[in-house]
Amino acid sequence: MARRIAAGAAYGGGGIGLLGAAAIGLVLAEVQLAKRTVGNGHADPPSADGLYGTVFGRARPPLRLGILGDSTAAGQGVHRARQTPGALLASGLAAVAERQVELRNVALPGAMSDDLDRQVMVMLADPTRRPDVCVIMIGANDVTHRMPPTQSVRHLAAAVRRLRTAGAEVVVGTCPDLGTIEPVYQPLRWLARRVSRQLAAAQTIGVVEQGGRTVSLGDLLGPEFAANPRELFGPDNYHPSAEGYATAAMAVLPTVCASLGLWPETDRLDASRDEGILPVAKAASAAASEAGTEVTGARAPWALLKHRRRRRLPAVTDPAAAPVEPASSPRQP
């Protein structure tokens, strides 16, 4: 299914329905029930744009980190700039690179993939401030607003292509598993999980084919969300809390650093960690079912499936970043 969606996106095919027609009425009823308890009381996310890692001085120009996507990329659900994923990633990147990082976040709460064209235009508008690496988090609103998945993947692939052409590395956090949202009941929970995972796999294929890398957000990056939903989801029961965003950023950071050649691990595979070279569609499917998995393009039609060792994020003391310490576990789910 993921391959069919990606192929439809690449070659202009029409929408491929992910749900049977008989299920639509039941799903719509469940959606209305879920809306009563999910996503209320949104406040504008805090702005975290600025310079991080100032303790490293100005001997070299800062790395430029761009964030694009939806409310998760923007950091909706937290109240302090340092708690947003952009600030966490900028601080972590500065600590690993031992270099200042300039963060610019153009993500828009409520955005779907068709807004990426505008966001990329804003990101690339100033040729003197073009990013070295961009992180995109998108897809949840595409599912909830029933955007045809082929259109969703087409918009994302076009955004990755434009950013790569402009010289930026691109890391995409694929569609999260909407079946983990606590107030969503069965059978919508099962359907939401299936649809979001199919979209995540199709996104992976589209991104890798354009020279980007993906990290599966899955159940929002770890069983912590399923085990501790009241701790890791914010007050609206939909967006992550500060702890949730930290978990997400910790999973994405190694891939961001690796894309710039800054991570101590190479792209060599470790069989003991279930890494391998697979056909891109199989790698995408495997990643969609295991949160935190990275997929990177190899020689077509192959892709590298990796589980990078994570490190604890530095405490964000705006605007400087503290050193990164190794995590206690070699591989965190």
Catalytic residues, by residue number, are: 71, 236, 239
> Is the CB of residue 241 less than 8 Å from the CB of residue 78?
yes
Q: CA-CA distance, 309 to 55, in Å (whole number)?
A: 26
Nearest to 207 by CA among 1, 4, 6, 72: 6
- φ, ψ of residue 111 to 5 degrees: the values are -70, 145
Q: CA-CA distance, 328 to 306, in Å (whole number)?
A: 19
Looking at residue 154, its amino acid is R
Structure tokens at 306: 């990796």
Looking at residue 228, its amino acid is N
Q: CA-CA distance, 169 to 65, in Å (whole number)?
A: 10
Q: CA-CA distance, 155 to 72, in Å (whole number)?
A: 18
* DSSP for 81-111, written as a single string: GGGSHHHHHHHHHHHHHTS-EEEEE---TT-
Nearest to 33 by CA among 217, 168, 214, 189: 189
Q: CA-CA distance, 248 to 253, in Å (whole number)?
A: 9
Looking at residue 133, its amino acid is V
Q: CA-CA distance, 305 to 296, in Å (whole number)?
A: 7
